Structure 1
Amino acid sequence: MSSDASLKKDMMAETPESLSPPLSTTASNELTPEEAARAFKPTVAFYLAMTTLALLTFIVALDATALAVALPNISEEIHGTGLEAFWAGTAFMLCCAVFQPVIGSFSTIFGRKYLLTGAVLFFLAGCIGCALAKNFNTILICRAIQGAGGGGIVVMTEIVVCDMIPLRLRGEWFGLLSGMYAVGTVLGPIIGGAFAQHVTWRWIFWINLPFIGVAIVMVPICINLKVASTSFLAKIKKIDYIGATIFIGSATGFMMGISWGGVQYAWSSWHTIVPIIVGVAGFVAFYFYEDKIAADPVVPTSIFKNRNITAAYIQTVIHSLIVLSLVYYLPLYYEGVKGFNTTITGVAVFPETFTVAPAAVVIGIVIGKVGSFRWAVWSGWLISILGLGILYLMDVHTTTVQWVFLNLVAGIGTGFLYPALQFSIQSACKDEDLASAVSMYSFFRAVGQTLGVAVGGVILQNQLAVKISAYPALAPMAKRYSQDATALAHLLRDMADSQDRRDLVQAYADSLKVVWIVMCGLAGLGFIISLLIKDYPLDRFVPAVQAVEGEKDKVGDEEVPVAVVEKKAETVAI
């Protein structure tokens, strides 16, 4: 091996921090990283593309949570069983999660635009199928198709943004996408409940069609990314079939076990334990296969060997777990404790809905301006700890003004963390591994969402049994009341005033307090893990493998083709 090759190998082993020399040392005729980033000029096509991606992100997040509250109406109309309703709600999240890393890997082989367009078409097919469904079998199949398409949309959106925008300038755009995802997630149950109650549950799916129609037109026009010029046969040969199969099987088993634990089967049942154990064992086998055997791995294991990335993934799971617990269980406070109907409950969650998105956008912009992100991660966790802690103060007699202000803090803290955690990952990984790193971020976010519903549900169910049993008159009914927290909230809302109702409402409020305390503790754990991350610089600039076609940068008045920029960038980050 030549000395130059040895030097390059040594430099590749260095951390991204060491690959960014001071800007002042760069030759005058070269693009410095900062100059390259500043030369990025959004065009009309870019703004149209980002608008389309933001709308797609919103409708996917909306659909992920909208159906759950409408399932009783659907079961009544098409005569479904509880088991069928459960799987109709689970199929979307399951398929959304397990296919994301595989779709990200395929996009590197076949091209981003084609995979994103395919994902949109899958999502469209699932929406139409569900809207026209006459039985639960059709809904189950179409929700699975819709989930696979939705997962593809989410992961491809984030990868495409990385392809189009320099690292330092991604903050505001990832803040926008994260905000849209958060708003869709929070509004999903409210919109789904409103449609089911006042119109028809089928509108949960029909409402997506105008947005999808716009996306089908705009994606091919506005997202013009380079694709590797190799034959189709060569691309087929690059697919890691074994790795993809192991990952999908392992993720499916793990997510299924988590999803039906405490719902379809007890957590102690072998039906729950075995899939989780098999899934974890499969993940271990997947890691060793990708690390030791796979020629073109679905997920390069190098991303897990980076402390920043691994710590950020763990924080992503915790963050998503907390957000979904807020999304699912705060509305139960308003319905079960305050007695609000579905519409008023939708208004009541506005303190979270309309603080998460602005906080995400603002913090993304600020990160880009100051060129560092670790402070935002730490601030996000500390504010979240405070916000979740003060939710403990929400009680039966909390006034409207009080609960509005109590809810603002948690929304701001969780909003901070969306772009901050993405920067933790993207700034630390090698440029050639960026698509895989982003795909795994989306996957771990979905895992956290699934855990959020499960963990929050277990805590609330157990605490309801304990708190209700403390009242002698209600003790005989404690087990039955605690089995379904959502049904109990609706029962309390419609129940006539009596001492038993007042005791049940107090027990419900006290049980939710325990949920918030556990979430506060998890936020504390997230903060402790965040102390492990390093503040990598955001001025690295290496054009993406699938950069925008015809993209050019300027030095003064001279236009420099992409190929020249790539060559110059190699002198900065080999």
Structure 2
Amino acid sequence: MVMWAVLYYLPFYFEGVLGYSFIISSVGLLPLTLVVSPSAVVTGVLITVTGRYRVFLWSGWVVTVLGFGLMIKLGLGTSIAQWIFLTLPGGLGTGMILSSMQIAVQAASRDEDVAVTVAMVPELRTFGQALGLAIFGSVFSNTVRSKLGDIPSSLADPSLVARLGSDPIQLVEVIRHTADGPLKEELKRAMWLSTRAVWIAGLGFYAVSAIASLAARHYDLNKVLSSEHKVKKEKPATEAI
């Protein structure tokens, strides 16, 4: 839920608050996304070597909660170096969680249920994507409406505020085409506080999940896989007489 919300709303922050172009805003996701796969691979290797997954699951949640908490520090004048290091830990923790969680659910399942378990994890992630965008979309939209309502009528036409309140996605384009001045600063502030509200709400979900992960049990990873799927051995062809 939270991972997809970050990937969806972080470009809004880059475009609407920092004034980046669409392409540069997409590039801005790289510090967060590029480290996910290497982190997951390293975590998987360490779990294979040590035979323990709970410590990496818990460590991943700690890093993720810390990283997402740092994203709340993204502000109106955040520099490139700052937002790179503020978004990087979240990607590291996410990679650790994705790898260790996949192994944990397989270790906890019965041999005959491993195939279903493996398929269940990406299925739940897909469901979380749809659910997360709905939940955090409401957080974003409601915060935009609230903050736009605080703009004095002397700065913004009430009809403009009403239009943006019903379609907050257009706020990025309005900010881009608004001349520098008090109105543009107020619009940028509304976008900043709205994305920040998404980070805060997501941090709550992450904190609850981190606490729930403490109940994870240890299962021995060194076990024989018992499966009904067998590879048939071909009989050697007999020589023709």
The TM-score normalised by the length of structure 1 is: 0.39
Distance 1:379 1:472, change over 3 A: same
Rounded Cα–Cα distance in structure 2 between residues aligned with 1:549 and 1:332 = 54
Q: Which position in structure 2 is the counterpart of 1:447?
A: 127
Q: Which position in structure 1 is the counterpart of 2:238?
A: none
Distance 1:548 1:337, change over 3 A: farther
Q: Please state how far the C-alpha of 1:549 moved relative to its aligned partner.
A: 5.9
Rounded Cα–Cα distance in structure 2 between residues aligned with 1:416 and 1:387 = 13
| Alignment partner of 2:138 out of 440, 445, 458 | 458
What amino acid maps onto 1:401 in structure 2? A
| Alignment partner of 2:192 out of 506, 509, 519 | 509
Superposed CA deviations along residues 37-96 of structure 1, whole A, max 9, x for unmatched, are xxxxxxxxxxxxxxxxxxxxxxxxxxxxxxxxxxxxxxxxxxxxxxxxxxxxxxxxxxxx
Rounded Cα–Cα distance in structure 2 between residues aligned with 1:485 and 1:376 = 39
What amino acid maps onto 1:495 in structure 2? T
Of the structure 1 ranges 537-546 and 468-477, higher mean CA displacement relative to structure 2 is found in 468-477
Between Structure 1 and Structure 2, how many residues are aligned?
A: 230
- Deviation >6 Å, runs of 4+: none
1:414 aligns with 2:94: yes
Rounded Cα–Cα distance in structure 2 between residues aligned with 1:397 and 1:548 = 61
Superposed CA deviations along residues 470-507 of structure 1, whole A, max 9, x for unmatched, are 22134834342133333211322233222111110011
Q: Give yes or no for contact 1:338–1:396 (8 Å, CA) kept in 2.
A: yes
The SS at the match of 1:393 is coil
Rounded Cα–Cα distance in structure 1 between residues aligned with 2:38 and 2:222 = 25
Rounded Cα–Cα distance in structure 2 between residues aligned with 1:542 and 1:401 = 48
1:387 aligns with 2:70: no
Q: Please state how far the C-alpha of 1:547 moved relative to its aligned partner.
A: 5.3
Q: Which position in structure 2 is the counterpart of 1:370?
A: 50
Superposed CA deviations along residues 299-350 of structure 1, whole A, max 9, x for unmatched, are xxxxxxxxxxxxxxxxxxxxxx011011100011111111111211121111
Distance 1:470 1:429, change over 3 A: same
Counterparts of 1:92-111 in structure 2 under 5 Å? none
Distance 1:465 1:475, change over 3 A: farther
Counterparts of 1:197-216 in structure 2 under 5 Å? none
1:526 aligns with 2:209: yes
Counterparts of 1:42-191 in structure 2 under 5 Å? none
| Alignment partner of 1:497 out of 166, 176, 180 | 180
| Alignment partner of 1:486 out of 169, 178, 181 | 169
The SS at the match of 2:35 is helix
The SS at the match of 1:395 is coil
Superposed CA deviations along residues 95-133 of structure 1, whole A, max 9, x for unmatched, are xxxxxxxxxxxxxxxxxxxxxxxxxxxxxxxxxxxxxxx
Of the structure 1 ranges 339-348 and 434-443, higher mean CA displacement relative to structure 2 is found in 434-443
Q: Which position in structure 1 is the counterpart of 2:111?
A: 431
Rounded Cα–Cα distance in structure 2 between residues aligned with 1:438 and 1:494 = 48
| Alignment partner of 1:333 out of 5, 8, 13 | 13
Distance 1:524 1:469, change over 3 A: same
Counterparts of 1:215-226 in structure 2 under 5 Å? none
Q: Please state how far the C-alpha of 1:440 moved relative to its aligned partner.
A: 2.1
- Percent identity between the aligned chains? 34
Q: Please state how far the C-alpha of 1:460 moved relative to its aligned partner.
A: 0.4
Q: Please state how far the C-alpha of 1:403 moved relative to its aligned partner.
A: 0.6
CA RMSD of aligned residues (A): 1.6
1:361 aligns with 2:36: no
Rounded Cα–Cα distance in structure 2 between residues aligned with 1:408 and 1:450 = 24
Rounded Cα–Cα distance in structure 1 between residues aligned with 2:226 and 2:98 = 24
What amino acid maps onto 2:176 in structure 1? R
The TM-score normalised by the length of structure 2 is: 0.90
Q: Please state how far the C-alpha of 1:414 moved relative to its aligned partner.
A: 1.0
Distance 1:469 1:375, change over 3 A: same
Q: Give yes or no for contact 2:112–2:226 (8 Å, CA) kept in 1.
A: no
1:542 aligns with 2:222: no
The SS at the match of 1:427 is helix
Rounded Cα–Cα distance in structure 2 between residues aligned with 1:517 and 1:411 = 17
Rounded Cα–Cα distance in structure 2 between residues aligned with 1:380 and 1:520 = 14
In structure 2, runs of 5+ residues without a counterpart are: 234-241
Distance 1:428 1:342, change over 3 A: same
Q: Give yes or no for contact 2:67–2:90 (8 Å, CA) kept in 1.
A: yes
